[in-house]
Amino acid sequence: MIFLTNLISGLSLGSVYAIIALGYTMVYGISKMLNFAHGDVIMIGGYMSFIMTMYMGLNGWLALLVAMVICTILGITIERLAYRPLRGTGSLAVLITAIGVSYFLQNIALLIWGANPKMFTSLFNGMKPIHAMGGQLTITPESIFTILANIVIMILLTLFVSKTKAGKAMRAVSEDNGAAQLMGINVNQSISLTFAIGSGLAAVAGVLMLSAYPVLMPTTGAMPGIKAFTAAVFGGIGSIPGAMIGGLILGIIEIFSRAYISTELSDAIVFACLIIVLLVKPTGLLGKKISEKV
């Protein structure tokens, strides 16, 4: 029975990582850039929906929408101001700028909302957890909705990327930036769109994560950001299904290592698994093998 509870909490934690990892993978896919500030966009999303529900009195779902809109705008502005000037100058410079943006977001949040941690009222406050198997197994609404949201987002995103014109444009730009421009695709628009979607999803992930683990502080986004980034690479950076699978597996490993091996070393075990997978498959689970033509 414990196995089932662990599996469910593993899946729900994994779903959170997966949704965040989607943001990392899409941004990396299109502009070969590791957006370290992505973790903090989650935190901003969390604060936004917290403000909406607590002070503006909107209901949870409306607050989520507002948070998504704000995060989308935030994502686009970050790309426009911080990353566009450095496009094409090699990934190291952009990496450091992303880290600068991450510190910036954390400190802005600290100044605006102060250092006191806030308790996030879960989106599914009213709903009752489902007691199955004679009360032994309790499944919280947060877990169910997180897993569902992850699946829905996955389907919508795959459809968007494969079917719609904008989606194809994004894939074209991620395949070959130069050629895409020649084909008349507005690269800047595609990249902004990617950041927009990535940040919007980050808001969703933020709200879902905080519904399950309600402590909200300016530094809340840091650790999940790193874990999700690991999940994105685990699944093969650049591949959308890879991010999903990578996130889920990472979540399950984390929960199971805590439950069965040792809570002290759970982080170490998660990262050790990542290294083992990369040993076996150097470009992650679904990453495309880049072979150098001699």
Partner 1 sequence: MKKNWKKAVVVAVSCMMVFMLAACGGGGGSSDAGENVLKMGCTGPLTGPAAIYGNAVKNGGQIAVDEINAANPDGVQVAWQVEDDEADGEKAVNAYNKLMDDGMQVFVGSVTSGACVAVAEKTNADRVFELTPSASQAAVTEGKDNVFQLCFRDPDQGTISADYIVENFPDAKVGVIYNNASDYSAGIYDGFKKEMDAKGVEIVAVEAFADDANTDFQAQLNSMKNAGADFVFLPNYYTPVSNILVQADKMGYAPTFFGCDGVDGILTLEGFDTSLAEGVYLLTPFTASAEDEKTQNFVKAYMDAYGEEPNQFAADAYDCVYACYNAFKETGLETSASAADICEAMVAQFAGGFSYEGLTAANAMKWQATGEVDKMPAVYVIEGGKYVEK
Partner 2 sequence: MAERILKNIRIGGLKNAVKGNDYRKEATISYGILIGGYILLQILTAAGLIGHNLQGQFVPICVYISLAVSLNLVVGISGELSLGHAGFMAVGAFSGILMSRILLQSMSFEPAILIISMLFGALMASIAGFIIGIPILGLRGDYLAIVTLAFGEIIRNFMNVLYFGFVDGKLRFAFNHTIEGIEDTDRIITGAIGATGTKTMASFTWGLLLCLFTVFIVLNLKNSKQGRAIMSIRDNRIAGESIGLDVRKYKLMAFVVSAALAGMAGCLFGLNYSTLVPIKFNFNTSVLVLVFVVLGGVGNMWGGIIAATLLTILPETFRQFADYRMLTYAIVLILVMIGTYNPAIKSRVNALFSKIKPKKKKDDGKVKKKKSGKEGA
The 3-class secondary structure across 153-184, one letter per residue, is: HHHHHHHHHHHCHHHHHHHHHHHCHHHHHHCC
131 contacts 114 by C-beta, under 8 angstroms? no
User: Binding pattern to partner 1, positions 135-174, x when CB under 8 A?
Assistant: x--x-x-x--------------------------------
Give the C-alpha separation, 214 to 49, whole Å: 12
138 contacts 162 by C-beta, under 8 angstroms? no
Number of residues near partner 1 (by CB under 8 A): 44
Identify the residue among 76, 166, 222, 269 touching partner 1 (CB under 8 A).
Answer: 222
The entry of partner 2, partner 1, none that residue 138 binds, CB within 5 to 8 Å by partner kind? partner 1
Residue 177 binds to partner 2 (criterion: CB under 8 A): no
Identify the residue among 1, 108, 119, 152 touching partner 2 (CB under 8 A).
Answer: 108
Residue 188 binds to partner 1 (criterion: CB under 8 A): no
Residue 116 binds to partner 1 (criterion: CB under 8 A): yes
Residue 120 binds to partner 1 (criterion: CB under 8 A): yes
Identify the residue among 31, 140, 190, 230 touching partner 2 (CB under 8 A).
Answer: 230
Give the C-alpha separation, 26 to 32, whole Å: 9
15 contacts 145 by C-beta, under 8 angstroms? no
The entry of partner 1, partner 2, none that residue 259 binds, CB within 5 to 8 Å by partner kind? partner 1
Q: Which stretch binds partner 1 (CB under 8 A): 19-27, 117-125, 179-187, 228-236?
A: 117-125
Residue 182 binds to partner 2 (criterion: CB under 8 A): no
Residue 241 binds to partner 1 (criterion: CB under 8 A): no
Residues 177-183: contacts with CB under 8 Å, at least 24 apart: none
In the chain, what are the helix, strand and coil shares in percent, each to the nearest 5?
Answer: 75, 5, 25
Helix (H, G, I), strand (E, B) or coil at 36: coil
Q: Which stretch binds partner 1 (CB under 8 A): 72-80, 110-118, 175-183, 199-207?
A: 110-118
Torsion of CA 163, 194, 75, 34, to 10 degrees: 140
Could you tell me which residues come within 8 angstroms of residue 224 by beta carbon, excluding any fewer than 6 positions away? 16, 17, 20, 39, 42, 209
Amino acid at 141: P
Residue 115 binds to partner 1 (criterion: CB under 8 A): yes
Residue 276 binds to partner 1 (criterion: CB under 8 A): no
Residue 10 binds to partner 2 (criterion: CB under 8 A): no
Instruction: Summarize as ranges the residues that interact with partner 2 (CB under 8 A).
Output: 28, 34, 82, 85-86, 89-93, 95-97, 99-101, 103-104, 106-108, 110-111, 226, 229-230, 233, 237, 262, 264-265, 267-268, 271-272, 274-275, 278-279, 282-284, 287, 292, 294
